[in-house]
Amino acid sequence: MSNKKSNYRKDAKSISVEVKEADELLAFLLKVMSNRSRNSVKSILARGQVTVDDHIEKQFNYNLKPGQRVTILKNKAAVKQDVLIGMKILYEDEHIIVINKEAGLLSIATESEKQQTALHQLMKYVKREDPDNRIFVVHRLDKDTSGVMMFAKSEQVKRKLQDNWNQTVKERIYVALVEGKVSKREGYITSWLRETKTHLMYSSQTPNDGLFAKTRYRVIQGNNEFSLLEVSLETGRKNQIRVHMQDLGHPVVGDKKYGSKKRNAIGRLGLHARTLTFLHPVTNKQISFKADIPASFLNKSK
């Protein structure tokens, strides 16, 4: 393997390598980290310390393609304590923290995963300064959705944000990579959303049969296979964009739960929270944060 700058980057916290030929992820990592045992490399994968392009990847047999970039975060015990896996802090003050979350990272704990979450990591991060510091969830992103996410540093700020969410948040813009060519360049979708006993959301056109949901979209770019849409939420319902893209006849890439029938071309869900604009809960000044559109979304929709 060549160590030219064009395909191999190394710093104090990570190793980043460009894929030159098709390979399975574990086999590729064993070559890159030839000084480590197979079990050690498998553990690094299982802990979520490996990203492919713009998402965390834990599958040993994930198929790599030439041109992708694999980044390996060094063993957590060997790096500075301020390393946050699967996220980047965009903004922080004494009241809030705004992050760019990668696809594959849970927002909060589940029964099967307690520690590898955005909340748990940020809690440890703020407690280093003061053991009494805490972090509070304001809103969530699905595990497989990337992008801008905000947390509060006090119960009071959390309540103020949540109680006045519709007035506080001025803009929530997502980008969605969807299947097929969307012929209508822009439009909006409305329905009433309901949830089944198995937690699946679905649309109803019967007035007041569920929670009203409205989604606006416009086509950024596309081809015959994929379209990249800018999606604005006028209401914030559970799985709203995913259900409405299914209603549009163009399900989100990789979204088997809501209508995707094709092979997942990007190895993740094609949904990214690009922009969050809101009034600061204390200063009342309007601030806005953006997370770049994932490269895989742009490449597939050219």
Domain edge (last residue) among 32, 63, 78 = 78
Residues 90 and 67 in one domain: no
Token pair in block for residue 30: 């064993």
- How far is the CA of 72 from the CAs of 15, 33, 49, 94, 140, in angstroms? 5, 10, 6, 31, 26
Residues 283 and 269 in one domain: yes
Residues 177 and 301 in one domain: yes
Count the neighbouring beta carbons within 10 Å of the beta carbon of residue 290: 15
Determine, yes or no, domain membership for 194: yes
pLDDT, tens digit, for every residue of 4-40? 444 656 555 678 899 999 999 999 999 999 988 999 8
CATH of the domain at 54: 3.10.290.10
Domain edge (last residue) among 163, 198, 220 = 163
Token pair in block for residue 230: 């800018």
> Catalytic annotation on 292?
no
- In three-state secondary structure terms, 115 is coil
Note down the domain range covering 34.
8-78
Residues 131 and 259 in one domain: no
Determine, yes or no, domain membership for 2: no
Residues 292 and 200 in one domain: yes
Catalytic residue among 142, 163, 209, 255: 142
Count the neighbouring beta carbons within 10 Å of the beta carbon of residue 145: 25
User: Minimal CA–CA distance to 13: which of 80, 105, 89?
Assistant: 80
Count of domains for the chain: 3
Q: Left, alpha or beta for 240 (phi > 0: left; psi -120 to 50: alpha)? A: alpha
Residues 53 and 169 in one domain: no
Residue 173: the pLDDT is: 97
Ranges of the chain with pLDDT below 50: 1-6, 76-81
**Intra-chain end-to-end CA distance of the chain, in Å:** 30
